[in-house]
Structure 1
């Protein structure tokens, strides 16, 4: 069953290795070409994520360097990898080709300069999260103690994303920022979040947030990170059935038609059992098919996302 995965941090790993890791085969990458083929991943989103330790004046260059690794190591050396720069490009994918697109996880790299955001969008970024966990010039993230919402600059960014038919990602936003985004974003999405009721991690979505996403027909993609899946004091190891429970909880709330996957491979330090890299995606499919119909699982795997593309 074809898979669409909305989040991985493979570009950061490629950057940190100074190009030493081979995207085709490196075992150090949860997402590499061999594993994408093994897992039947048809479309993989690649996040641009700049670590908070990078100096402010160096962040934009670091972002462009990750784009360069994407263009060279991912696309340039692997002709079967194709970039999706606009949503209609998905329809052009041929058998044996794997689509891919860029996302931006936090807008720290652009400072207060919307022309830099325009440049990244021109390079093919199709989903933008305003923050990572801290606050920045656009919004507060989930770990900012004051818990504020969007700034005027943040609202300007969302307006631009609306104009460019780009998703606004709510996954790392503070609760107040989430509600601000839901008021103004035409294309909200949660690219990698789980259900707060099942696991009390601050990164997960509460039921009111989930219901708002359902009302907006906005995709919610579950994340394969154990600390977001099970309460660590209850169970140190997470298995696929623990992750399936998050899908079941979303379905119970009415989210059947908007659920997808956002693995966070290469951005997490531990893994769900038997779901440790992109080559093992079909293990999750098998587990889901024990509970849901094939058509429903195909929705989770890819079709729900394809049904909710910006237009």
Structure 2
């Protein structure tokens, strides 16, 4: 295709995973809470990849840190990161900010949660998070919380009364309700309860790979039918062996397009642009990392010590260009590819952030 489309990563990282303190190097149970390294390489490679904007994960996800206080602290940290790199980064709170990032050659940073535990027992905190610039809130991580069930929670765990209250608060303050990691019943009930379209920013299709982190056709269809968005990840859950390849990403995108329609599907890689340099050294740490997650009760079915949490042949600076090339080979039109790579997320954000 000619020209460069908007590239929006609906869930990703700004990180150099080769730095000692990064999440990939140290494991995502790093007790310091400062898990990412936004250095010169991170910025240069993110921009070189063509990335327009990325929804990052900040705040409490799991562990022993106080959820609310830790979340506010991480918002402060990311505000500082963006302030230190005004020529490279732009905090995104509106759709116009995404367009501005594209015009100015900067990378837009969308603040998002992967767990709503920081809300505590007070849905009024949603207003505080909105004021601080948070624009995406995932209701649960893999385990259950006070809002509903995650993908590893007992089957049938649904959206709670408090979860409905939080969804209503998110609607009121124009924040995305992200149902990634949720269990099936919680996803269906939240999608039906929300008066604003919801999203599943990083997932796969359970019809192709029957793992709990992937969404059923019923979930995908409901989210899309109500004007929502589905992002396909670059994760091991796309293949039953745990060794997903770029071809698997394409197959899951194609299935999602078939179920949802081409106006509701995008990408949410769940990873950084910068690739891990030494895969042998990383492999040696991986078993310990997976064991940590299992011990903490936050791992997902399909996580194993021998599976990378990324797609090995779809990483690094060329990952988005390679995906575009594969979608072209699939026979997708330039217009459909532009939608998948970013325009669908922008259109969805327009429906939510300005609702």
Question: TM-score, with normalisation over the residues of structure 1?
Answer: 0.88
| Unpaired runs of at least 5, structure 1 | 27-31
Unaligned stretches of 5+ residues in structure 2:
16-20, 273-288, 290-302
Q: Does 1:184 align with 2:223?
A: no
Please identify runs of 4+ aligned residues in structure 1 that moved more than 6 A.
none
Shift of 1:190: 0.6
Inter-partner Cα distance in structure 1 for 2:123 and 2:110: 21
* Map of 1:243 onto structure 2: 249
**Residue-by-residue CA offset, 1:4-54 (whole Å, 9 max, x unaligned):** 00112558947947769641335xxxxx21221121000111112524222
Q: Distance in 1 between matches of 2:185 and 2:249?
A: 27
Which residue of structure 2 lines up, in the alignment, with residue 283 of structure 1? 322
Cα distance between partner residues in 2 of 1:139 and 1:278 = 37
Q: Counterparts of 1:272 and 1:60 in 2: how far apart (Å)?
A: 33
Q: Is the 8 A contact 1:59 1:108 kept in 2?
A: yes
Look up the match of 2:183.
174
Contact 2:60–2:118 (8 Å) recurs in 1: yes
Cα gap change, 1:101/1:20 in structure 2, threshold over 3 Å: closer, same or farther?
closer
Deviations 1:180-207 (A, max 9, x none): 1112211200100110011111011111
Alignment partner, residue 62 of structure 2: 52
SS of 1:5's equivalent? Answer: strand
Report what 2:73 is aligned to: 65
Q: Find the partner of 1:258 among 252, 258, 264.
A: 264
Q: Take 2:176 and 2:96, find their aligned partners in 1: how far apart are those partners?
A: 15
Distance 2:263 2:339 in 1: 7
Counterpart-to-counterpart distance in 2, 1:177 and 1:238: 27
Partner of 1:95: 104
Counterpart Cα distance in 2 of 1:134 and 1:38? 36
CA RMSD of aligned residues (A): 2.5
Residues 59, 75 of structure 2: 8 Å contact kept: no
Q: In the TM superposition, what is the alpha-carbon distance from 1:211 to its structure 2 partner?
A: 1.5
> How many residues of Structure 1 are paired with residues of Structure 2 in the alignment?
300
Contact 1:9/1:48 (CA < 8 Å) preserved in 2?
no
